[in-house]
Amino acid sequence: MEDKTKEELIEEMRVLKTRIADIQDLECKYKSAEIELKKAKEELEVETWGLAKTNEAIKFIYKELDKKNKELQTLDKLKTNFISTASHELRTPLTTIIESISQVLDEIHGKITAEQREFLSICLEDVDRLSRLVNDLLDISKIEAGRFKLTKQQVDIVSLAKMVSVLFHPKAKSIGLELRENFCSQTAMAYVDKDSVIRVFTNLISNALKFTDKGYIEILVMDKPTCVECCISDTGRGISEEDMPRVFGEFEEFGNREGVREKGTGLGLSICKRIIELHQGEIWAESTLNKGTKFIFTLPKYTENKIQEE
Amino acid sequence: MKGVSGMGKKILIIDDNEVDLLIVKRYLSRAGYNEIISAGNADEGIKKVEQERPDLIILDTLLLSSNGFEVCQLIREKYNKTNPKIIIITGSIDAVDAVKARKTGADDYCAKTSDCVPLLEAVKKLI
């Protein structure tokens, strides 16, 4: 063995001390890393647990929503069936009442006094309204139940509009309104269910007559390249912006109803919308308060291959 | 039987939805838990924790003036970490957040369903 000098030994000691310090430092770092790792592991555990629980909860809530949804659908069906049955039951006696009052008013069974006539007329008017309401309800429930069948055929909307318009001429004249017709072409062939389109025209025109005090009502039919567009416009009291979103809602009657000549059922526009939608058409309203309202709707055009499509 | 050990324990339900409260109460008492108390809002709930010292608290995530997570944290800060036990429940997809529940000190977290199955399981595990 070689003898080391004192200096050499001191030097070795110094090196060793630094190494020990380095090792201690490393040990310290390792320990804190271990603590951090443990913390991270714990946090990860919480996150994993949380995600699993969250997943489970979402699954249960979806199941719950699905159950509620099915319950609501059943209730909705029950409601539709109830309305349809009730409407049927209501319609029968109403027809009898209307017929009987009409016979008395027509003096088939003897003369009546002016006062009796007045009261009976009030009765008839309200029974008539009730009857319209029941009919509208029946239609709505039929549409909702998917039992409203369209019998589509080739229909000329211009002549259909003319025919409906003629029916309203006497009424318009009696309240001092002009009924204008504006047909952009000789014919406008559409592929629709005739009766229900007549219903839409009738509803919209009688609405326009109800809400217009002076001016005119215009029926416009345009044969467009992709559809037949119809517009019933009036110079009536208009619909306010805030009422606009409720226009096609059920049982919605709004705005200033003072002086409105005839009470509605609140279902007419809703039925119009449903009929147009059943035809894959669109219906919308444009209005300025106190200036007038436009109801515009589109109907599918008649083409040779229309029938083949179905 | 696991359920038996939980009998005689006091359960506090904090939920502002009266119908949900009734449903949870009914299922718990059917499962044999006979000491059930309830609170319709956070403040009343915290008061009842003080007065009644329940063994388990069932907390809804959505409360009128507060939320279940906040109430859970408050209770944990005031009392010790393991007692009372706390289950946070939710019936709303928007409020599903089990990580938050655990971080605010809840022992378990589950969905609120009309048959209370997940809740009953969680209760059985804890008391």
What's the pLDDT at A128?
87
Chain A nearest C-alpha distance from B51 (Å): 31
> For residues B127 and B120, what is the distance between their CA atoms, to the nearest angstrom?
11
- Would you say residue B7 has pLDDT above 80? no
Interface check B113 vs A, CB under 8 A: yes
If you average pLDDT over residues B97-114, what whole number do you get?
A: 92
Q: Find the CB nearest A57 among B90, B102, B114.
A: B90
> For residues A239 and A269, what is the distance between their CA atoms, to the nearest angstrom?
13
- Would you say residue A145 has pLDDT above 90? no
CA-based nearest residue to A213, from A179, A238, A234, A236: A236
Put simply, the chain B residues between 66 and 105 with a CB less than 8 A from any chain A CB are 90-93, 96-103
Domain-wise residue ranges, chain B: 2-126
Superfamily (CATH H level) for B2-126: Response regulator (3.40.50.2300)
CB contacts < 8 A (A, B): 61
What's the pLDDT at A260?
61
What's the pLDDT at A261?
57
Say which residue, A129 or A217, is predicted with more confidence.
A217
DSSP string, chain A: -PPPPHHHHHHHHHHHHHHHHHHHHHHHHHHHHHHHHHHHHHHHHHHHHHHHHHHHHHHHHHHHHHHHHHHHHHHHHHHHHHHHHHHHHHHHHHHHHHHHHHHHHTTTTS---HHHHHHHHHHHHHHHHHHHHHHHHHHHHHHHTT-----EEEEEHHHHHHHHHHHHHHHHHHTT-EEEEEESSS--EEEEEHHHHHHHHHHHHHHHHHT-SSSEEEEEEEE-SSEEEEEEEE-S----TTTGGGTTSTT---S--TT-SS---S-HHHHHHHHHHHTT--EEEEEETTTEEEEEEEEEBP-TTHHHH-
Least confident of A98-102, B3-7, B48-52: B3-7
Strand (E) or helix (H) holding B38: strand B35-39
Q: Please report the ipTM that was assigned to this predicted complex.
A: 0.79
- Would you say residue B2 has pLDDT above 80? no
- Would you say residue A76 has pLDDT above 90? no
If you average pLDDT over residues B75-91, what whole number do you get?
A: 91
Spell out which residues of chain A touch residue B113, defining contact as CB-CB under 8 Å: 60-61, 63-64
Interface check B125 vs A, CB under 8 A: no
| Cβ within 8 Å, pair B98-A64 | no
Model pTM score: 0.54
